Chains A and B, each alone.
Chain A
Amino acid sequence: MAETALPSLKVKRSKPDWRVWLGVLPFFLFALLFLILPSLKLFVGSFTNDKGQLTLNNILQLITQQSILDSYWLSIKISAVTAIGGGLIGFLLAYSVTVGGLPKILRPILITFSGVASNFAGVPLAFAFVATLGRTGFITYLLSHFLNLKIYDAGFNLYSFLGLSLTYMYFQFPLMILIMAPALDGLKPEWREAAENLGATGTQYWLRVALPILLPTILGTMILLFGNAFGAYATAYALTGGALPIITIQIGAQIRGDVLHNPGLGYAMALGMVVIMGISLLGYSLLQGRTERWLK
């Protein structure tokens, strides 16, 4: 590694000694055994056939088999919808408790609640939504009892794309709040004053000053939300029992038994997920770099 040699010149009593590296050996060993090797296995497996020979057939099959592409597409759709929706709602909520003029006391309440909600996922979250919007759920009952609105007769179904999206939103927009609230704090009052002194209205200030500054954070966080939903498995499985074939559920089925009849294809499916997650994390960190110029 080229970069490791460079800083050691600056360190004064540097011993360019391999023994210093022993201090981080346990960590690297751990990472190798339980993070790098499993990932490497997926990578190698994606390019190997059942006889152990190098092949590109798995990748080829991955991008031609319609059912797999559909699963990816379903996952991407649900992640994008909940990332954009959660991003917008989260932004408005973060706005309301920071610069929106609500009483100061509400902020810590919403932030703590968001911290809990963004961690409240998986099986319990699915159960909570069944109790809320299931066939005999709380809201379902209230709507039919008081407004005579029978949502299940009107075509609503919790165990569908819409239902799963509503459920994902429960951990999506609180995450947006947690990240946006500090970013909104970073808007300096001077910027607003300067804009007003130059004759800008509130709308102009938001459209021409505040939003351009916040935009990288907003987009970056939405990408983070995308990855957050894209990797989710337990919530979807507990809610729909596998009826909605998003990509994580397909991979789960492949782990239980080789349902694709090609282990290599299973690896390739997992690799595809890692690639998509990697791209979104890269996008996030690039946008983060842009943000730090202004909001520090």
Chain B
Amino acid sequence: MNLPFGWLQFAQNRFKRQQKPPDGRRKTPFWSWVWFIGGTLYLALPLLATFSFSLQMKRDTISLQAYKSAFADPAFINSFLFSIGLATVTIIASIALIVPTAYWIRLRLPQARRTVEFITLLPFVIPAIILVFGLIRIYSQPLSIPFTSLSMGQSLTNSKYGTLILIVAGYMVLGLPYMYRSIDTGMRTVDVRTLTEAAQSLGANWYTIMTRVILPNLRTALLSGALLTFAIVVGEVVLASYLGVAAFGPYLFLLGQHRAFEPAALTFATFLLTWIAMGIIQLVTGGQGQTTGAH
């Protein structure tokens, strides 16, 4: 079939179809395909480009040399493991802080709900760069609480542990909206009040209720909150570089200043890691993808 005829027929078909009384939806979703293919290309091409670039480290041949070289760098291993450690601590601390809070609000203190929800939304208004600005200005001197004479002995930013506390706290703040929403939604769907009453009537104490009843029932919510936090923390660069922490984000940034192929390899690997995290969230929550804001 020659092309003009094909196009004519296509146009006629479209015309005919529009003449017919509309029956819900068009059968040739031409424009839908155009948008879909265009959008998918926009999403896929940068990854394809990065991947193909990362394979070209050896001249005139395709090799995984960039990956070998990137993964073999001890600085990479250290910073990456360190970031994973930071993510793990952040996740555990977030869960330990938010689960009891959300639980308590649901059960005993519904009047605190609006205040707590408002606080969990604040990180949307305070971007990472502003948060780290405030944190550094507050904690670079021995903390004195306003309107009192209370003060802490040493500035947090000057000690190793102090910096670690600050960065974990900062990451907890960045992940707060996602973690809180995830856990709160989880508690709504499993009806923690009924579960608690059932456990209590069977004689369980608070510790047993938390560890044997509430947490296992929240595992989907916890997992998706944890993976989102993971996705924020592992590549995060703003807090880490301003607080002077040797995490993966600053490492990748510095590597990009004086290398070409290794950063591309690590970029592609980061992408795969994000993909895995989001894929698992999709699987366990069965639908709604969430999104973070660590740009």
Contacts and interface: CB of A to CB of B under 8 A. Distances in A.
Interface in A236-295: 238, 248, 251-252, 254-256, 266-267, 270, 273-274, 277-278, 281
A186 interface: no
Main SS of the interface on chain B?
helix
Interface stretch (B7-15, B82-90, B189-197, B287-295): B287-295
A112 B284 CA distance: 13
B209 to A, nearest CB: 14
B267 A111 contact: no
A59 interface: no
Interface in B81-126: 97-98, 100-101, 104-105, 108-112, 114-116, 119, 121-126
Interface stretch (A64-72, A129-137, A212-220): A129-137
A112 to B, nearest CB: 5
Contact of A138 (B52, B104, B134): B52
Interface residues of A, number: 104
Interface stretch (B35-43, B72-80, B214-222): B35-43
A274 B270 contact: no
Interface in A77-126: 89, 92-93, 95-97, 99-102, 106, 108, 110-126
Q: Contact size class for B?
A: 35 or more
B207 interface: no
Interface string B152-178: 000000000000001001101100100
Contacts of A123: 235, 237, 249, 252-253, 256, 267
Contact of A101 (B32, B114, B138, B235): B32
Given A30-B172, A119-B277, 7 more contacts: A20-B109, A23-B108, A99-B25, A122-B237, A173-B42, A174-B291, A267-B137
Interface of B: 18, 21-22, 24-27, 29, 31-33, 35-36, 39-40, 42-43, 45-50, 52-53, 97-98, 100-101, 104-105, 108-112, 114-116, 119, 121-138, 146, 166, 169-170, 172-173, 176, 228, 231-232, 235-238, 242, 249, 252-253, 256, 263-264, 266-267, 270-271, 274-275, 277-279, 281-282, 287-295
Interface of A: 1, 3-8, 11, 20-21, 23-24, 26-28, 30-31, 33-42, 44-45, 89, 92-93, 95-97, 99-102, 106, 108, 110-129, 131-132, 137-139, 169-171, 173-175, 177-178, 182, 189, 192, 196, 201-202, 227-235, 238, 248, 251-252, 254-256, 266-267, 270, 273-274, 277-278, 281
